[in-house]
Amino acid sequence: MEITIEESKNRAEESIRKKFHKTLFSPFAKACKTYELIQEKDHIAVCISGGKDSMLMAKLFQEIKRHRQVDFDLTFLVMDPGYNEENRILIEENAKRLGIPVTIFESTIFDSVDSIDKNPCYLCARMRRGYLYSKAKELGCNKIALGHHYDDVIETILMSMLHSGQIQTMMPKLHSTNFEGMELIRPLYLIREEDICKWRDYNNLRFLQCACHFTETCSTCNEDGTTASKRLDTKRLIAKLKENNPYVEGNIFKSVENVNIDTIIEYKKNGVRHNFLETYNNEPT
């Protein structure tokens, strides 16, 4: 028997409070506290792409606001960068089904990157963020929240080493360089993707993954293995390494919390490169 919209909303919320409290709400609350992501009088634009991560993020924000430990406001912001009608409807129906009062605005990003041959996904992501910052600021927000999770973080760390020859991570929060007074926060920072998928499947939900003109057929978050990418390759590499070392994921994450500067040959601080030789002769042997 098909359940009503209200029943679907209640089931999704109850599953966060009970069945998935330890794996979803607790790490969400921990990240918010550890990295000081939510502060008094914040107005946060919760950016919803239509995928599983951002939809869950919206529900977790609603839940933590219900606890009333911090006074802050939320705007659930959806940018339509040129979705086809089917994907636009799916986002709207999911928002209604989950009880998320979304604010939708349009842009022409997909059309803008359609003719770009080199790194269209990178350009699309950069343009999306700019549009989101601009609209959020227009609506009186001081922060935008994105749905990157723990797996995104460790994959970024490894990708930076293997493909860019540098050690860097996806930060839990950042000051905007182009929009004064604005910050970006990532409250799913400590949540595993596997647990997000379990919540999605438990509630029989279907979300967008990527709906741009390059991957129109990719309308759910189920990986079909047909799209080759550096991130997918990195995800598979981590899974392979985990077969022999069950702690590999945690170790990758901890590696950027336990950086020993004394053993680093060169590093950058505020864009300035420093070399260990600068202080080498001043150090005791």
The pLDDT tens digits for 178-192 are 999 999 999 999 999
Mean pLDDT of 118-139: 83
Q: What percent of the chain is modeled with pLDDT above 70?
A: 88
Kindly indicate the confidence band of residue 84, based on its pLDDT and cuts at 50, 70 and 90.
Answer: confident
For the chain, the average pLDDT equals 89
With vertex at residue 159, the alpha carbon angle to CA 224 and CA 269, rounded to the nearest 5 degrees, is: 150
> Which pLDDT band holds residue 224 (cuts at 50, 70, 90)?
very low
Helix (H, G, I), strand (E, B) or coil at 101: coil
Residue 218 has pLDDT above 60, yes or no: no
Give residue 106's pLDDT: 87
Please give the pLDDT value at position 119: 64
Enter the DSSP assignment of 18: T
- Alpha-helical regions (H) of 203-280: 230-244, 248-255, 277-280
> Rounded to whole angstroms, how far apart are CA atoms 238 and 93?
35
Query: Mapping DSSP to helix (H, G, I), strand (E, B) and coil, where does residue 73 land?
Result: strand
Does pTM surpass 0.85? yes
Asked whether residue 158 carries a pLDDT value surpassing 50, the answer given is yes
Q: Is the pLDDT of residue 177 over 80?
A: yes
